[in-house]
């Protein structure tokens, strides 16, 4: 009993010392995976850039729509005649020279043009609608990709913490054994070889512990960067890998395997629709364009100073123009044929993508099923290793087994626990990758910017301590 208490105390003290070192500079936020994802979706710069792209394309659409409205311009001009035009006339056999024009000419006025029939312009507006949808889908792709990255980083951090705890436990056990042999050596009941062997066992674990500590620091920094948080802010997971084992079977039974929300498939469908609209735009080039114009201008001509003697005369006009390209070297025809072929190519690409996605989905499902079986195997392995270690401890106390046998059983417990946590981690990553493939990971998180911001602020205010 004393030995077990000593093991627990040593492990707890070592782990708390590391945790204290990690959070000495700032308060620590204890966050769940869903809270990390929610913060990342609100604070990560990649998501903000994707949302800004949607707004930019919307402005582009409004620019195109603006071409349907009248284009009104105001213009003004002044010109000074340096040499007046001379007209010659015959008068009774004599030639007379007459100077024509004025020194100063002023004009100013308003002109407006508006398209009445412009099929190509109307079709172009539909292209803008499709571009907005493509940017929305690109933003959604960024969101589900970020969710996958944050989840995988969080699960990797859980694996690092749990593996670190297992190593600390094994290190504490080896340290207790080394202390026992040190005391036995002083009492003359153990050899120096036994002391050295137990001390080496302690030293052999320490590099793995240091590596685990560095891994935890690196993974915490990676997670904070994905979340868009200050790297000085301390964070820690509020769960362990074992917490996910209880819901493992429910997660497997309720897996959604529908590929209709797959981002690549949706983007390909939008691109196909875009190319179809491009074909419509090319066909619209065969139609004429009709526009209307109206103008109201003022003219003034005078001699002498350009700043006086104005004599303004108004002038107004209304007109309709027709523009119809009858022949341009068959350019329209070949452009239309190119657009039609590109549109037909997308159907073949979609078939190929669908088959590829079906294969990837089946592989992910097989990985999940394999990981579930591996978790069950590792669970039984941990139970057997712990039981075998307990038997070896009793045998070692009565002298029925050697220290090497005891150490082998302790290493077996450590290896089985590490394999158990690795199996749970593999299951969670496979499930997260399947969500990325299916494209349905974002459904549980707010998409409204205001709602997401409020949620993030609530998380940070509630978790700070």
Token pair 């074909």 in the structure block, residue: 279
Q: How confident is the model at residue 8 (pLDDT cuts 50, 70, 90)?
A: very low
How do residues 289-325 score in pLDDT, each as one tens digit?
A: 899 999 999 999 888 888 888 888 999 999 998 888 8
CA–CA distance, 218 with 164 (Å, rounded to integer):
14
**Which of 105, 106, 98 has its CA nearest to residue 81?**
105
Up-side HSE of residue 185: CA atoms within 13 Å toward CB?
Answer: 15
d(CA 138, CA 50): 7
Of the candidates 106, 56, 97, 8, which has an alpha carbon nearest to the alpha carbon of residue 307? 106
Say what the pTM is. Answer: 0.76
- Among the listed residues 276, 273, 279, the one whose alpha carbon sits nearest the alpha carbon of residue 133: 273
426 with 245: CB under 8 angstroms? no
Lowest mean pLDDT among 130-134, 352-356, 367-371: 130-134
Q: Considering the chain, what is the average pLDDT of its residues?
A: 83
Rounded Cα distance between 240 and 227, Å, is: 20
pLDDT for 187 beyond 50: yes
Quick check: 27 and 462 in contact, CB under 8 A?
no
User: What is the Cα–Cα distance from 410 to 202, expressed in whole angstroms?
Assistant: 12
pLDDT tens by residue, 159-186: 999 999 999 988 888 888 788 778 878 8
């Amino acid at each position: 009993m004393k030995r077990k208490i000593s093991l627990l105390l040593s492990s707890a003290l070592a782990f708390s010392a590391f945790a204290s070192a990690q959070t000495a500079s700032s308060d620590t936020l204890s966050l769940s995976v869903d809270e990390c994802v929610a913060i990342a979706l609100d604070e990560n710069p990649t998501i903000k850039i994707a949302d800004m792209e949607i707004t930019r394309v919307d402005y582009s659409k409004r620019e195109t729509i603006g071409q349907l409205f009248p284009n009104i311009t105001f213009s003004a001009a002044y010109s000074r005649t340096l040499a007046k035009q001379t007209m010659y006339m015959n008068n009774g056999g004599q030639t007379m020279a007459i100077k024509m024009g004025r020194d100063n000419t002023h004009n100013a006025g308003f002109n407006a043009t508006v398209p009445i029939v412009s099929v190509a312009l109307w079709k172009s507006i539909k292209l803008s609608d499709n571009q907005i949808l493509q940017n929305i889908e690109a933003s959604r792709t960024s969101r589900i990709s970020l969710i996958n990255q944050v989840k995988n980083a969080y699960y990797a951090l859980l694996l690092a913490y749990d593996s670190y705890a297992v190593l600390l436990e094994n290190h504490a056990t080896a340290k207790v054994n080394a202390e026992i042999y040190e005391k036995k050596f002083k009492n003359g009941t153990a050899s120096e070889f036994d002391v050295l062997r137990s001390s080496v066992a302690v030293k052999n674990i320490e590099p793995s512990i240091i590596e685990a500590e560095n891994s935890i620091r690196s993974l915490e920094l990676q997670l904070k960067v994905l979340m868009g948080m200050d790297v000085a802010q301390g964070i820690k997971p509020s769960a362990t890998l074992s917490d996910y084992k209880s819901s493992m079977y429910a997660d497997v039974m309720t897996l959604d395997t529908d590929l209709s929300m797959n981002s690549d498939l949706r983007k390909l469908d939008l691109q196909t629709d875009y190319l179809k609209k491009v074909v419509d735009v090319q066909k619209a080039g065969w139609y004429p364009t009709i526009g209307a114009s109206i103008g109201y201008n003022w003219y003034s001509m005078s001699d002498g100073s350009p700043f006086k003697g104005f004599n303004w005369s108004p002038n107004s006009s209304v007109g309709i123009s027709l523009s119809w390209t009858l022949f341009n070297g068959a350019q329209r025809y070949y452009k239309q044929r190119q657009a039609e072929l590109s549109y037909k190519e997308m159907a073949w690409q979609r078939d190929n993508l669908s088959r590829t996605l079906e294969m990837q989905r089946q592989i992910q499902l097989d990985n999940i099923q394999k990981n579930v079986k591996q978790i069950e195997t590792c669970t039984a392995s941990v139970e057997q290793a712990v039981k075998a270690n307990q038997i070896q401890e009793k045998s070692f106390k009565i002298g029925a087994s050697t220290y090497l046998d005891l150490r082998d059983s302790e290493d077996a417990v450590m290896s089985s626990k590490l394999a158990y946590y690795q199996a749970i981690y593999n299951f969670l990553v496979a499930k997260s990758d399947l969500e990325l493939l299916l494209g349905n990971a974002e459904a549980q998180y707010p998409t409204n910017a205001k709602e997401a911001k409020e949620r993030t602020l609530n998380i940070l205010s509630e978790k700070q301590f």
